[in-house]
A and B are shown apart, each in its own frame.
Chain A
Amino acid sequence: MMHIGTGLVCGGKMKDMVEAGFDFIIFLADWHSMINNKFGGDMGKIRKAGEYFKHCFTALGLSEGRAHYLWASELADQPGYWERVLRVGKSTTAQRVMRALPIMGKDMKSQESEAAALFYPCMQAADIFQMKLDVACGGIDQRKAHVLAREAGEHLGWGKPVSVHTPVLMGLAGFESLEKGSFDEDPKLSRVIAAKMSKSKPGSNILIHDSPEVISEKLRKAYCPPGVVEGNPLLEYYRVLAFLGSEHVLLKRDSKYGGDIDLGSYRELEEIYKAGKIHPQDLKSNMAAMLSDKLAPVREYFSQHESILEGMQKMEAGS
């Protein structure tokens, strides 16, 4: 199911791009999912999951019309697509391609990857050129794939796409329980990827469908040691989700604990949290209220489209 990282971070940035006047394509990467063995590589299920994504983004304000939706398999059917994939592959080395795919759900040192994995970054680059894109957006874990596309584009005379990278939101366990292993030579990026992967554990992230009660309960259990900022998911959610696009955030608090605090910036929150002037419980209850509010349109949309949600839940349980 879609979690708030995809729904609010990716979704929010895509809405920013649309507002800034971009012609925006939400690319449903069915072939790529097959390479990456999603749903055991079952294209029927992958397609259903893609339809579900389309509903989720529609509910978040990116309906067809504001953005375009395109399947990877539609793009790959266009004349010249596979030639582009091969041209990208010929412009680089197998080693560079391997380095562009550290997050295949495996440790990067593993030699057991399927050979089809090598196509993946080449297709990502080819997709960008086939769609004649000016900008490629993605989480920071997509950095190497985008750099590969820029290098290939320069080499082949196809132009260099600008890349826009967002943070990858950490799961509710923060740095408390990370996936073990090395996912990138850069230890910082490796940790980001490990934190991201930890989100595949049930209950370790907030879903865009969660009710206000479930959001509160998940946040109640979230890792949030008093005074600690590093690896604290609550602080990260404030930085990435609350302060984005707003000058200040009002933190509501019982008058017996000091009353409301008007925060002028994320830095200010960090300072006073480090100084022990805000209780974790206050961070959690305010974040729960904010997320419930942001996700209200999604709950409303899916209350009208229950079968879509149920279908996805069943498929996920069965895979």
Chain B
Amino acid sequence: MDPEKRLDLVTRGTVEIIRESELRELLASKKKPRAYWGFECSGKQAQACTD
């Protein structure tokens, strides 16, 4: 995939990237970088601490 398209997928709809220059570098150097999202396993307050 073209790097600009990858960058657009990662950044669209976000409010902040720390930092976009580092993200560009990462996408240029790694084909399959590793990322995560952490979720607290809860019910009532569904979107809580780690998400």
Residues on A lying within 8 angstroms of B by beta carbon are 1-3, 5-6, 9-10, 12-14, 16-17, 19-30, 32-33, 36, 38-39, 46-47, 49-50, 53, 72, 101, 103-105, 120, 124, 127-128, 131-140, 142-143, 145-147, 150, 160, 162-169, 196-197, 199-200, 240, 244-245, 312, 315-316, 319
Give the residue of B6, B40, B49 whose beta carbon is less than 8 angstroms from that of A20: B6
| Residue numbers in A under 8 Å from B34 (CB-CB) | 22-25, 131-135
**Do residues A244 and B15 form an inter-chain contact, with CB atoms below 8 A?**
no
**Provided the pairs A165-B15, A244-B13 are in contact, do residues A138 and B38 lie with their beta carbons within 8 angstroms?**
yes
**Do residues A47 and B13 form an inter-chain contact, with CB atoms below 8 A?**
no
| Residue numbers in A under 8 Å from B18 (CB-CB) | 146-147, 150, 162-163, 165
Known contacts A22-B34, A120-B49, A164-B10; 8 additional CB pairs below 8 A are: A10-B39, A10-B51, A26-B37, A28-B41, A36-B40, A101-B49, A105-B45, A134-B26
Task: Please report the C-alpha to C-alpha distance between residue A5 and residue B51 in the assembled complex, in whole angstroms.
Answer: 10
Task: Please report the C-alpha to C-alpha distance between residue A24 and residue B46 in the assembled complex, in whole angstroms.
Answer: 21
- 7 residue pairs A–B, Cβ–Cβ below 8 Å: A1-B46, A22-B34, A27-B36, A27-B38, A49-B43, A165-B14, A168-B47
List the B residue with the shortest CB-CB distance to A245.
B12
**Do residues B15 and A140 form an inter-chain contact, with CB atoms below 8 A?**
yes
| Residue numbers in A under 8 Å from B41 (CB-CB) | 28-30, 33, 38, 46-47, 49-50, 53
**Do residues A162 and B17 form an inter-chain contact, with CB atoms below 8 A?**
yes
Give the residue of A10, A19, A163 whose beta carbon is less than 8 angstroms from that of B17: A163
**Do residues A20 and B38 form an inter-chain contact, with CB atoms below 8 A?**
no
Q: How large is the interface on B (under 10, 10 to 19, 20 to 34, 35 or more residues)?
A: 35 or more
| Residue numbers in B under 8 Å from A22 (CB-CB) | 32-35
Give the residue of B14, B27, B33, B46 whose beta carbon is less than 8 angstroms from that of A2: B46
**Do residues B45 and A6 form an inter-chain contact, with CB atoms below 8 A?**
no
Task: Please report the C-alpha to C-alpha distance between residue A28 and residue B49 in the assembled complex, in whole angstroms.
Answer: 12
Scoring A3, A23, A46, A319 by chain B CB atoms within 10 A of each residue's CB, the highest score goes to A23
**Provided the pairs A135-B35, A164-B17 are in contact, do residues A312 and B51 lie with their beta carbons within 8 angstroms?**
no
| Residue numbers in B under 8 Å from A164 (CB-CB) | 10-11, 14, 17, 23, 35
Q: How far is the CB of A137 from chain B (nearest CB, A)?
A: 4
**Do residues A136 and B35 form an inter-chain contact, with CB atoms below 8 A?**
yes
| Residue numbers in A under 8 Å from B17 (CB-CB) | 162-165
| Residue numbers in A under 8 Å from B10 (CB-CB) | 16-17, 20, 135, 164
Residue-wise interface mask of B (17-35) relative to A, using a CB-CB cutoff of 8 A (1 in contact, 0 not): 1110011001100111111
| Residue numbers in B under 8 Å from A165 (CB-CB) | 14-18
| Residue numbers in B under 8 Å from A14 (CB-CB) | 37
**Do residues B42 and A33 form an inter-chain contact, with CB atoms below 8 A?**
yes
| Residue numbers in A under 8 Å from B15 (CB-CB) | 140, 165-167
Q: How far is the CB of B12 from chain A (nearest CB, A)?
A: 6
**Do residues B39 and A39 form an inter-chain contact, with CB atoms below 8 A?**
no
**Do residues A143 and B16 form an inter-chain contact, with CB atoms below 8 A?**
yes
